[in-house]
Structure 1
Amino acid sequence: MLAAPRPAYVLHSRAYKESSALVDFLTPEGRLRAVLRAARGKRGSLARPFQSLELALRGAGELKTVAHLEAQGIPHLLGGTALFSALYLNELLVRLLPAEDPHPALFEHYAATLAALSAGRPLEPLLRAFEWRLLDDLGYGFALDRDRDGRPIHPESLYQWLPEAGFHGVELWQPGLFQGRELLALAEADWSSPGALGAAKRLMRQALAPHLGGRPLVSRELFIHRKESFRD
């Protein structure tokens, strides 16, 4: 059975059998895994990430076969930190997005984020916004302007984020806490507010950690090594 063509992006591919590749695609219908035959020839060049594609799959089982794959438009040319950022987004999607679980709004957000990265937009707001959208679409979102008991966040208070509970007010400072004014800035996506970007990065790491199963992100480690090599 041949499914209708759909827009797609390659998230990850790896060698499969003699000349094929096993490819994870992001589509509006979710993350789909399929076999791309003759992937080590000219056709395999389409299995590169960050290129908008038209994809059609064949098969009724869990592992389908790519029947049609065609490039749409110009690929996003990413380098340096923008490239590592896009690889990070791909790894998050492969690790967290269930197979064949439709998320059309997340697909559109991913496409818009790639375009923004290619255009040289500031990285941190783009990454934090995508992380938040991913968590929210997967049902892991939480209020930024209310504590775990439903009380409004107070700008002058300190808060600890608790998985599956929300923000809990505390009296004494300790590493990993958030000021109320930072959380209120995040609720408004006010990246110009002092401390907002740093708080957003800290919060997203805490919020993503329970869903990553304790395994480090390869893209994050590669980015750290790249920065260290430049310092050397």
Structure 2
Amino acid sequence: MLALSQPAYVLHSRAYRESSALVDFLTPQGRLRAVLRGARGKAGTLARPFVPLDVEFRGRGELKTVGRLEAAGIPNLLSGDALFSGIYLNELLIRLLPAEDPHPAIFEHYAMSVLALAQGRALEPLLRAFEWRLLDELGYGFALDLDFNGQPVVAGGLYRLQTDSGLVPVGQLQPGVFQGAELLAMAEADWSVPGALAAAKRLMRQAMAPHLGGRPLVSRELFMTFKEPTHD
């Protein structure tokens, strides 16, 4: 039986049979699914999201078994909006990252993003950077400073996203379009430009929509429910 030890984070887990858990892990070798036996004991305490782990996976099939699981660093303690943001990143990875498809750059960026969330860094720039890196690593990226013909994006121009080819110039203002100045600010990650962060959020939603299969993100719905005002 093949045994492989590597750094990992838990993306999601659910009860499996009597005392086990079915766990989705993010590793440099991709997203792996494994059975964690004795999930109600010490291993189950460690197998929480946002905790850096060292995990030994056993087995050759798609469903592996956790042979050993140890903490490999200080847990990233997330709460409030940072916690919802972390859950959102995890759901994106489960939905978009193919199983057992190695992406070490995504793993490293995720580790840095979760640490930044725990440190209380500004959420919106962090989330937009992660979404962009994920799309780019999976082959869905596109230029922000060039249109689909390879022409430079003009600050005063208007553009719409065509997800299979990139940015397409348009002649007049219409729903869903982006200003060239916003796109150029995104390319430089210059969030001081008015409207750039809001435009980046719209752009990433448009870019990810075809790859999410039409199903809404549970984490986004949870966040909106949490944010709804309560009435006595």
Name whichever of 34-43 and 87-96 sits farther off: 34-43
What's the CA shift string for 1:130-189, capped at 9, x where partnerless? Answer: 000000000000000111111111111111111101111112212211000100111111
> Partners in 2 of 1:76 and 1:190 — Cα distance?
27
| Contact 2:20 2:40 survives alignment (8 Å) | yes
For residues 210-229 of structure 1, the aligned pairs below 5 Å read 210-229=210-229
Query: What is the percentage of aligned positions where both structures have the same residue?
Result: 72
Deviation at 1:82, TM superposition (A): 0.2
> Partners in 2 of 1:59 and 1:163 — Cα distance?
38
Deviation at 1:16, TM superposition (A): 1.0
**Secondary structure in 2 aligned to 1:4?**
strand
- Partner residue in 2 for 1:128: 128
- Partner residue in 2 for 1:56: 56
- Partner residue in 2 for 1:165: 165
**Secondary structure in 1 aligned to 2:228?**
helix
> Partners in 2 of 1:57 and 1:231 — Cα distance?
49
> Partners in 2 of 1:6 and 1:230 — Cα distance?
44
TM-score (norm. length: structure 1): 0.97
Deviation at 1:18, TM superposition (A): 1.3
Deviation at 1:15, TM superposition (A): 1.1
> Partners in 2 of 1:51 and 1:231 — Cα distance?
36
- Partner residue in 1 for 2:71: 71
- Partner residue in 2 for 1:12: 12
- Partner residue in 1 for 2:177: 177
TM-score (norm. length: structure 2): 0.97
- Partner residue in 2 for 1:144: 144
Deviation at 1:223, TM superposition (A): 0.5
**Secondary structure in 2 aligned to 1:23?**
strand
> Partners in 2 of 1:131 and 1:231 — Cα distance?
34
**Secondary structure in 2 aligned to 1:77?**
coil
- Partner residue in 2 for 1:81: 81
For residues 104-115 of structure 1, the aligned pairs below 5 Å read 104-115=104-115
| Contact 2:57 2:66 survives alignment (8 Å) | yes
Deviation at 1:41, TM superposition (A): 2.6
Deviation at 1:40, TM superposition (A): 2.1
> Partners in 1 of 2:150 and 2:60 — Cα distance?
46
- Partner residue in 2 for 1:190: 190
AA aligned to 1:151 is Q
| Contact 2:4 2:58 survives alignment (8 Å) | no
Unaligned runs of at least 5 residues, structure 2: none
- Partner residue in 2 for 1:43: 43
For residues 85-100 of structure 1, the aligned pairs below 5 Å read 85-100=85-100
| Contact 1:11 1:24 survives alignment (8 Å) | yes
Deviation at 1:43, TM superposition (A): 2.0
> Partners in 1 of 2:100 and 2:229 — Cα distance?
39
Please provide the CA RMSD for this pair.
Answer: 1.2
> Partners in 2 of 1:134 and 1:91 — Cα distance?
12
| Contact 1:51 1:76 survives alignment (8 Å) | yes
Deviation at 1:191, TM superposition (A): 1.1
Deviation at 1:42, TM superposition (A): 2.8
> Partners in 2 of 1:213 and 1:231 — Cα distance?
35
Aligned residues: 232
Name whichever of 118-127 and 170-179 sits farther off: 170-179
